[in-house]
Structure 1
Amino acid sequence: LVLILSNSGETEEIVSLLSPVKKIGAAIISITGEPKSTLGRHSDVVLDLGKIEEACPLGLAPSASSTAMLALGDALALTVARRRKFTKEDYALYHPGGELGRKLLTVDKVMRTGKANPVVRCDATVREALRVMTETAGSPGATSVVDKAGKLVGFFTDGDMRRRLPSNPDLLDERVEAVMTRNPKRVTSGHLASEALRMLRDYKIDQLPVVNAKGKLIGILDVQDLLDVGKVETEA
């Protein structure tokens, strides 16, 4: 489907496109002030602007006609959106860089997964947890802790280690489940990124583990990722 706009319907550049467009089997919808023009005759659907007197003092430069095309184009877009039951989520999908796209951006679009998602079993030592945190790409400075089934049971950060190490020289050899934060703050993959950022700020934390509907770990969200991409805005 090709939408073509031309008040006269005889613009050389547009007329030259009509044959190739027809050859590929595309339908043509035209917005024109001349339904019987070359463009109008080759169109499957003609949206007639009618006779429009340009606002230009010379009556030449597109002005009133271009404004009419804009209005008709908006009406067409809104009608199609209504007929297709176009949702805010659809809008965000096709317009991710806009304000609505930022507001509807979900955690799964920015979370870290795979090798960038640090995770240890609850029976791992703090030393092993520290190694995972250090070797993970992006150095998030934290690791999620899971049970044998992969469900999130805790969270451990380098800050936790620094606070405990002075009073416990044997900390590195302890099991991480003994020093981790149990029942940590978390989000699901479908959670709005803007809400996740608000949680990070409200609780003054830098990371959030991401789980699925069954509580299994699937990723980690780092505050720096949200700030770096410049896509997330929290509401005032």
Structure 2
Amino acid sequence: MARAPRSTAKKPRLRALPGRDAAVSAPPLPEEATASLAYAQGVLEAEARAILGLRLGESFLRALALLRGCQGQVVVTGMGKAGLIGQKLSATLASTGIRSVFLHPAEAVHGDLGRVSRGDVILALSNSGATEELLRLLPSFRRLGTPVIALTGEPESALARGADVVLGMGRIEEACPMGLVPTASTAALHALGDALAMTLMRSRSFGTEEYALLHPGGKIGRSVQRVFEVMRTGSANPVVRESARLSDAVGVMTKTPGRPGATSVVDKAGRLVGIFTDGDLRRLVEEGRTDFTLPIREVMGRRPRCVTPETLVLTAAAQMREARVDQLPVVDAEGRAVGLLDVQDLLAARFL
């Protein structure tokens, strides 16, 4: 078979992004870019209007009362995009100490309804209020005696009629060229769920300590951790009496597990009076003061910076950076040295 003649037409030159091998099309014309930015801005404004247009009243307070009195778990359910918003709402509730589970309506009619029991409260999300999979669950919820709170854009819908409390958003114009893709309505649904969750959290005694217990990892966990969770204690906390010799202090620093580069110096009552560090030892050597029989009180650093066990680790880390020190003694309310915060531990926990 004869080959087709090779085309002599030049291909359009494609411009590559800096630092990347992949070729991309040339940027849009200025008028196209302007139109795109204007349309995108309109999407943001449409979603903002949908959220700001929500009005809360007596039904919101009734929903809060049901959630506060929930003896079981909050079961969040919804299909499609509303279901995805529901999954996030359930996760938010769980992260703030409210027992919650997401129930997929399609799976519920095939056995997952067993996740629901008397004492639970249902949060049902549907913009149309006509989601077939959700409506099929209403008779089962009634038989189980679980109250239903409906979050919907249609307060006269079948879902609203079957619910105990209705949080109606009203009809919302979608931010979409066809007016069909859930955009502004899901933004409003998301915001309404957050309003419920955060108001419920505010009404309970749920503070940073409880939040930290549920968020041990990542940036959030680090932001609420306290010094007592990471400080060195017991045999790992180097301490010498102020009457000890320099050699004793160096021995304690060397033999303490983890080899911290410092030791706290305390009085008879165990109260912190000073600190001695590797840096102090190097300076003594540089000055020719190598008499290791010297009392540690004569060469220790006095009035050292210190923190309490309840200090936020982020606050302590900031103090260490500001003072350019690698260790901070930890003292209790009576000024007793109860721990040591070491820079190596903060680096390992990604605080520095």
Residues 212 and 218, structure 1, Cα contact 8 Å, conserved in 2? yes
The 2-side partners of 1:66 and 1:198 are apart by 40
Alpha-carbon separation, structure 1, partners of 2:279 and 2:203: 53
SS state of the match for residue 338, structure 2?
strand
* Structure 2 residue corresponding to 1:12, chosen from 106, 113, 116: 106
Q: Work out whether 1:148 is the aligned partner of 2:148.
A: no
Task: Determine which of 135, 138, 153 is the counterpart of 1:40.
Answer: 138
**What is the DSSP-based 3-state SS (H/G/I as helix, E as strand, rest coil) of the residue aligned with 2:232?**
coil
CA–CA distance in 1 between the matches of 2:220 and 2:350? Answer: 14
Counterpart in the other structure of 1:114: 234
Taking a change above 3 Å as real, the CA distance of residues 39 and 180 of structure 1, as seen in their structure-2 partners, is same
Q: Provide the residue aligned with 1:163 in structure 2.
A: 283
- In structure 1, what residue type is equivalent to 2:289? N
Q: 1:145 to 1:222 in 2, by over 3 A?
A: same
Q: Which runs of 5 or more structure 2 residues have no equivalent in the other structure?
A: 1-72, 81-102, 155-170
1:204 maps to: 324
**How many angstroms does 1:215 deviate by?**
0.2
Aligned position for 1:27: 120
* Structure 1 residue 2 corresponds to structure 2 residue 100: no
Shift of residue 50 of structure 1? 4.5
Larger Rg: 2
Of structures 1 and 2, the one scoring higher in RCO (CA 8 A, sep 6+) is 1
Contact 1:49 1:68 in 2 (8 A): no
What's the offset of the Cα at 1:66? 5.1
Counterparts in 2 of 1:68 and 1:6: CA distance versus 1, 3 Å: farther
Kindly indicate whether the alpha-carbon contact (under 8 Å) linking 1:3 and 1:30 is maintained by their aligned counterparts in 2.
yes
- 2:246·2:295 contact (CA, 8 Å) conserved in 1? yes
> Structure 1 63/198 Cα, relative in aligned 2: closer, same or farther at 3 Å?
closer
Change (3 A) 1:93 1:10: closer
Kept in 2, the 8 Å contact 1:54–1:62? The answer is no
Cα deviation digits, residues 98-155 of structure 1 (max 9, x gap): 6554444322222111121111122222222111111112211110111221111111
Query: Structure 1 residues 37 and 124 mapped into 2: Cα distance closer, same or farther (>3 Å)?
Result: same
In 2, Cα distance between equivalents of 1:191 and 1:130: 28
Three-state SS of the structure 2 residue aligned to 1:162 is: helix
Q: C-alpha separation between the residues in 1 aligned to 2:125 and 2:298?
A: 74
Deviations 1:71-92 (A, max 9, x none): 3321221221222254455544
SS of structure 1 residue aligned to 2:116? helix
**In structure 1, C-alpha distance between the alignment counterparts of 2:258 and 2:333, rounded to whole Å:** 26
**1:217 Cα deviation from its structure 2 partner:** 0.7
- Give the drift of 1:221: 0.8
- In structure 1, what is the equivalent of residue 167 of structure 2? none
Structure 1 residues 123 and 161, CA, compared in 2 at 3 Å: closer, same or farther?
same
TM-score by length of 1: 0.79
Report the Cα offset of residue 3 of structure 1: 1.9
Q: TM-score, normalised by structure 2?
A: 0.55
Q: Relative to structure 2, which stretch is displaced further, 85-94 or 209-218?
A: 85-94
Paired letter, 2:138: G
RMSD: 3.2
C-alpha contact (below 8 Å) 2:151/2:189 kept by paired residues: no
Which residue number corresponds to residue 296 of structure 2?
176
Rate the CA distance shift 1:11–1:63 in 2: closer, same or farther, 3 A. Answer: farther
Match of 1:49 among 152, 176, 180: 152
What is the DSSP-based 3-state SS (H/G/I as helix, E as strand, rest coil) of the residue aligned with 1:184?
coil
